[in-house]
Structure 1
Amino acid sequence: MKSNAEPFFCSLKPKDVIGVAAPSSIFDADAFHKGVLCLESMGFEVHIPRGISGRHRYLAGTDRQRAEVLNSLFADPGIKGIIAARGGFGAMRLLPLLDWDIIAKNPKLFIGFSDPTALISALVCNVRICAMHGPNLVSLAQADQKTLESFSKTVTGCFTRIDLPSDQVIVPGHAAGRLVGGNLATLVHLIGTAYQPDFTDGILFIEDVGEPAYKIDRMLIQMKMAGLLEGIKGVLTGSFENCDNEAYIPQIIKEVFFEANIPICMGIGVGHGSVNLSLPMGVDTILDADHACLEWGLAAQ
């Protein structure tokens, strides 16, 4: 399943069709509908596959049903992008059921965050297809203007830079590498599987929700002991929402990456917070901690 292809970001255009997948948990129908209207207001057409509203325990259908929807969306040449309905849990259960040959031959932009990190990581690290770490469909229903603007302009390739909080630069410096990572807990659960992420020469981005500081510590140490943090060029963190003892997290981050001597920036508005900016995963980026910014695309060349 590994590919050596050069990754590229499949940006979308107005009137492009975005298909909706439900790789994880059951979603709220009203929020789903409002998310569809939000995409349509941005100028996109939305394709809702049959069977997307299935139910199997806390999942949006059986693993086979959810995987078949994703496979069909990637195989359909009329679909230019795919957005996850919501997070929760379930995306990693689909990884062995996906037709990775078809996906590799039909690259298109996958959008989501939180539990869909499992899919984003596999796309970026295993088949070298860029993805977008951004709001899931139901998240768009209640997103603020800053989040919506970032989504619209990142998905269409108009944004090539994000300014970072200058007061949360942990280690200064300058680094270049493809942007990798996502939800920390999801990434850790991929360790030891065929879909274990490869962060080598990457700028690692992480965020999480509802995890106390000691669990953040434990997950990062596990990643380090498993060798996942070897060879990374920089670290960028998003929000750590509802994480007990959040004040400890910068100390933990600095300790875990101390020996690497790489730039580290924290506090970007990406993740489960009130603002969820969009990031192009797998894209070549520049993390400039000296000037507190992240650049990609033409800006990073």
Structure 2
Amino acid sequence: MIPALQPGDSIAIIATARKITFPEIELAIRTFESWGLKVVLGQTIGASYNYFAGDDALRLQDLQQMLDNENIKAIVCARGGYGTTRIIEQVDFTQFKRHPKWLVGFSDVTALHSHIHTLGIESVHAIMPLLFPKEGTADAIETLRKVLFGEELTYTIAPHELNRTGTGQGQLIGGNLSMLGTLTGTRSDSSTAGKILFLEDLDEYLYHIDRMMVHLDRSDKLAQLSGLIIGDMSDMKDPALPFGKTAYEIILEHTGKYNYPVCYGFPVGHEPLNLALVCGRDAKLEVSEQGAVLKYV
């Protein structure tokens, strides 16, 4: 178990993927400081190499230094985009395994969550500094604070017409659907058997969602789950020739043959209400006609 943060602790903000400027994360810095934390900025904040927050060497160095620095109690990724998988193979997690710390982010940061899960260490899928100024994010930010400071969290979700009722228990894993597909067969991949999987995605063609769900199923990622949580499928696209199903209907098609509970409409993903989830922690998912409850056990 990673120690809960305490007032006075130092946390780092870095960018492992797309570039970002200091003004874009200024509100997040002030928010973290209001929680009593000291914020250390990585060299990648404000750095630029074409699309990226510095070249691969700089982003790798930034992440490695923060992982190895025992005075840093949490690492918060400033934003997603693309680029984390370009450096993850070169990261040395030796010191991190000896002295685990929270790593926070989502979207492209799914690569780090998945890799850290293979080490048996928890991490936090949650809102990132770039999005703090966005309207409607206050509740998402508060759930991040509660997770980091070790407060109890139970989520009660409204019923959805596609839900499948039941109860499942296991480690909570997942993140961005596109990233999880990209990680299949790599050293950042792990078994989903007996676990509760959560999925979200953004800005994908519907036929891409179908292709990725087929891939997950053929990779034996769906058959042995204890439960499935479907979050936001935001800004889905359709070509001129319509695919004919929504993202949720596509997912239902590929998981309908299984018996575990499924919760649709869970607020996780690329929307303002992106509830913080602890990847790798044992959880229970209860889905009934009244809705769904996710709690840690």
Give the Cα–Cα distance (whole angstroms) in 2 for the partners of residues 62 and 97 of structure 1.
Answer: 14
Q: Offset at 1:157?
A: 2.0
Instruction: Verify the 8 A CA contact 1:213 1:244 in the aligned structure 2.
Output: yes
1:128 counterpart letter in structure 2:
G
Secondary structure of the corresponding residue to residue 81 of structure 1: strand
Q: Offset at 1:51?
A: 4.8
Aligned equivalent of 2:131, options 133, 139, 157: 139
Aligned equivalent of 2:287, options 268, 286, 289: 289
Check 1:253–1:77 CA distance in 2 against 1; reply closer, same or farther (3 A cut): same
Give the Cα–Cα distance (whole angstroms) in 2 for the partners of residues 119 and 85 of structure 1.
Answer: 14
Check 1:252–1:156 CA distance in 2 against 1; reply closer, same or farther (3 A cut): same
Instruction: Verify the 8 A CA contact 2:206 2:247 in the aligned structure 1.
Output: yes
Instruction: Verify the 8 A CA contact 2:196 2:229 in the aligned structure 1.
Output: yes
Structure-1 residue corresponding to 2:241: none
Alignment of 1:1-301 (within 5 A): 8-124=1-117, 126-142=118-134, 144-168=137-161, 170-244=163-237, 248-290=246-288, 292-296=292-296, 300=297
Instruction: Verify the 8 A CA contact 2:20 2:45 in the aligned structure 1.
Output: no
Check 1:247–1:12 CA distance in 2 against 1; reply closer, same or farther (3 A cut): farther
Question: Which consecutive segments of 4 or more residues in structure 1 shift more than 3 A?
Answer: 244-247
Superposition TM-score, scaled by structure 2 size:
0.92
Q: Offset at 1:9?
A: 4.4
Instruction: Verify the 8 A CA contact 1:71 1:103 in the aligned structure 2.
Output: no
Instruction: Verify the 8 A CA contact 2:22 2:45 in the aligned structure 1.
Output: no
Give the Cα–Cα distance (whole angstroms) in 1 for the partners of residues 30 and 55 of structure 2.
Answer: 27
Secondary structure of the corresponding residue to residue 171 of structure 2: strand
Check 1:34–1:247 CA distance in 2 against 1; reply closer, same or farther (3 A cut): farther
Q: Offset at 1:94?
A: 1.3
Superposition TM-score, scaled by structure 1 size:
0.90
CA-based RMSD of the aligned residues comes to: 1.8
2:250 counterpart letter in structure 1:
I
Give the Cα–Cα distance (whole angstroms) in 2 for the partners of residues 87 and 117 of structure 1.
Answer: 9
Secondary structure of the corresponding residue to residue 246 of structure 2: helix
